[in-house]
Amino acid sequence: MENIIVRNDGAVSEITINRPQALNALNIAALTELRESFGNLPQETRVVILTGSGEKSFVAGADIREMKDLSAARARELARLGQTTFSEIERGRHVVIAAVNGYALGGGCELAMACDIRLASSNAKFGQLEVGLGIAPGFGGSQRLPRLVGKGYAKQMIFTGEMIDAAEALRIGLVNQVCEPAELMQASRALAGKIISKSFSAVLAAKEAIDNGLNMDDESAFRFEAEIFGMCFSEDDQREGMDAFLNKRQPGFK
């Protein structure tokens, strides 16, 4: 692959978007490779750490050079490609941690938001800058940003097209944690390590409950949670986890 680097290390895989000449902006080739790289992860991968190459940028958006002369129909197709790719990342059977190592703008902010958890370096900058280019967000930003930070902050970010820094992103709940740049990958790996030490079938069950429940009314969401909770009891990990607790030993999950 030309634009994506994948490194697999047991249960943790690292996917790096690598177009440094364009601050890792996503052109169609990079988007397609990103989709393939998630689709082709080894069976044992549980957590993916997604980052950008270099110290300056996570992803500086969709590729403006490639978008400039698109017809309305082609632009719609591009938006669908970005949305589908990001939704596959969001809904896949992995936990995805975005290690935001610099600019996360437009499609870059949208990609980070499709991840389960976001860690940012202190030099990271977030923004939906589209209105400054004469367009509205197209890779899910107008939907995921208000769900994450609330309608008010989302509208302010999208209507002004201004960047916010990592501290502000932490304050409004757009990121979970801010680290020194040199410590970002270590912190992401430490978080991945905590997740893989637990029952992965339970983690995936909880992910499904959270992601699906958010789009339901309360009663349907609680019923769905009960379904998921019930399903956990047909997994070996439930018996192992509870037996380990009662026998004062460490669980050995599958």
Tell the smallest beta-carbon distance from residue 10 to ligand CAA (Å): 33
Sequence length of the chain is 254
* 164, 168, 169, 172 alpha-carbon torsion, rounded to 10°: -120
Please count the other Cβ atoms lying within 10 Å of the Cβ belonging to residue 212: 15
Active site residue 130: yes
For residue 197, the Cα-to-chain-centroid distance in whole angstroms is: 20
Tell me if 185 contacts ligand CAA by CB under 6 A: no
User: What is the largest distance, in Å, between two alpha-carbon atoms of the chain?
Assistant: 66
Active site residue 225: no
Tell the smallest beta-carbon distance from residue 2 to ligand CAA (Å): 16
Of 7, 14, 11, residue with least CA distance to 185: 14
Tell me if 121 contacts ligand CAA by CB under 6 A: no
Q: Which of 5, 55, 65, 227 binds ligand CAA (CB under 6 A)?
A: 65
Q: Which of 15, 62, 145, 166 binds ligand CAA (CB under 6 A)?
A: 62
> Interface mask (CB under 6 A) for ligand CAA, residues 68-87, using x and -?
--------------x-----
Is the dihedral angle over the CA atoms 81, 86, 87, 93 positive or is it negative?
Answer: positive
Tell me if 170 contacts ligand CAA by CB under 6 A: no
Looking at this protein, which amino acid is placed at residue 80?
A: R
Q: Which stretch binds ligand CAA (CB under 6 A): 102-110, 114-122, 144-152, 221-229?
A: 102-110
Residue 29 tokens, joined: 């080739």
Where along the sequence are the contacts to ligand CAA (CB under 6 A)? 22-23, 25, 60-65, 82, 103, 105-107, 110, 129-130, 133, 137-139, 141
